[in-house]
Each structure stands twice: as C-alpha cells, then as structure tokens.
Amino acid sequence: MRTLLIMKHIATPFSFLVFVLLSLTGQIASSQLFVQIEELNKVETIKLYPGDKFQYQLKGYEKSWDKGVIGSIDPAINAIFIKESMYQIDEFSAIRVSGPFAPRAVGVTFQTFGIGWLGFGILGRVFSNGTFKAQEAIIGAVAIGVGYLFRSFYRWDTVQLNENNRLRIMDVRMVVPTVDN
C-alpha cells in the first residue's frame, strides 16, 4: 500500500513532464525544410537535410564531382547554400548520396572477418608454433576482397538530373497563426 502511495506522488509530476516534453517536441519537429530528389516511376524519394553530406556536379562541369555539406536552404529563391556559395536548383546536373546501408555494413563485416582470420592465424603461428597454410591466407584474403567489393559497388547512389529526375526544395513547415490586436 505504501509503494502505491509513493508511486502516485511520483507519477503525477512525471506524467506532466512527459506531456510538456512531447508538446515541445511536436513544435520543434513540425518545421521541416529539405531538398528532395524525385525519380520517375519511383515512390521513394531521397531527402537531403541541412547538414547532410553529398557530392554534386554542376551544369557545364560534368567531368568533376564536388563534395559539400548543405548549410542552409532558401525556398524563397530556390537555392541551396554549400560552403559559403549559393547554388540554384537548376544549376545541378547530377547528385550522389551515400548508398544503401546494409550492403556497406556487409562489406565492413566481411573485411573485419578477413582481417581477424589473418590476424589470429598469424598470431597462432607465432605463439604456438602452429602452421599457417596458404588455404587460411586465401580465406582471409577472399573475405577482405569481397568486403571491399561490397563497399565499392554500394558506395554511392548517383542520380542524373534531367526530365525524368528532378531536384526540389520542399518546405513543409507548419505555420502557427498569430492573432494581431
């Protein structure tokens, strides 16, 4: 009975605190401004927020890729600020963003396994006078190679911006109405 009484006094302020935090979080999360890459006949879009890293090509400079971090986005003039420079949406010819996470994680796992296999094999050879055969070296080397290939092939998703793919600034901020007296 006593524990129920203590929980009653703790639960009321705690529930009020949770309510206040959730209310504030809703106000903060309601303001969203991002750049969206839309591809023809695909439901999924790629979204880039301020602070996201990506690579890009500008029209007229199709042979060189530049890296940047989105500093800010201005929907009024349809521009993105990267490295103290302003670029209009129409100036981009291609965008590269990080590829899917799962294949890259598989690649890291294979490489870690291969390095561990080789490392423990060599340590076993040195400290226990065991044998380190070519077959064991091949297993480690193949695992490292497969991991490298996974990480290489899935490193970037490249989207050429043309009539089928476009870049848009999305401003879905919630405007709170104000009452003027």
pLDDT at 22: 57
Q: How confident is the model at residue 21 (pLDDT cuts 50, 70, 90)?
A: low
Higher pLDDT pick, 16 / 98: 98
pLDDT of residue 89: 92
Quick check: is 176 in a domain?
no
Boundaries of domain holding 55: 32-98+156-171
Cβ-contact 178, 82 below 8 angstroms: no
Mean pLDDT in residue range 84-97: 91
Quote the pLDDT of residue 18.
61
Task: Please check whether residue 117 is in contact with residue 157, taking contact to mean a CB–CB distance below 8 angstroms.
Answer: no
Widest pairwise Cα distance in the chain = 88
Regarding whether 162 and 93 lie in a shared domain, the answer is yes
**Helical pair 101-128 and 134-153, crossing angle rounded to 10 deg:** 160
In a domain, 76, yes or no: yes
Helices (H) and strands (E) in the chain, counts: 3, 9
112 is a domain residue? yes
57 and 112 together in one domain? no
**Contact present, 89 and 167 (Cβ < 8 Å):** yes
What CA–CA distance (Å, rounded) separates 54 from 102? 19
Percent residues over pLDDT 70 in the chain:
80
pLDDT score of 119 more than 50: yes
- C-alpha–C-alpha distance, residues 28 and 25, integer Å: 5
Cα–Cα distance, 162 to 93 (Å, whole number):
7
* pLDDT tens digit sequence for 104-115: 888 999 999 999
Mean pLDDT value across the chain? 82
Cα(146)–Cα(122) distance, integer angstroms: 21
pLDDT band at 27 (very low <50, low <70, confident <90, very high): very low
Query: Is the pLDDT at 47 greater than 80, yes or no?
Result: yes
**Whole-number Å distance between alpha carbons of 53 and 150:** 21
- Across 75-160, the runs of DSSP E, i.e. the strands, are 79-82, 85-88, 92-98, 156-160
Whether residue 74 is found in the same domain as residue 1: no
pLDDT at 118: 93
Whether 181 is in a domain gets the answer no
Phi first, then psi, for residue 18 (nearest 5°) are -65, -40
Catalogue the E-assigned strands of the chain.
Answer: 33-39, 46-48, 53-58, 66-74, 79-82, 85-88, 92-98, 156-160, 165-171
**48, 130: one domain:** no
What is the total count of domains within the chain?
3
98: nearest Cα among 47, 135, 161: 47
pTM (2 decimals)? 0.59
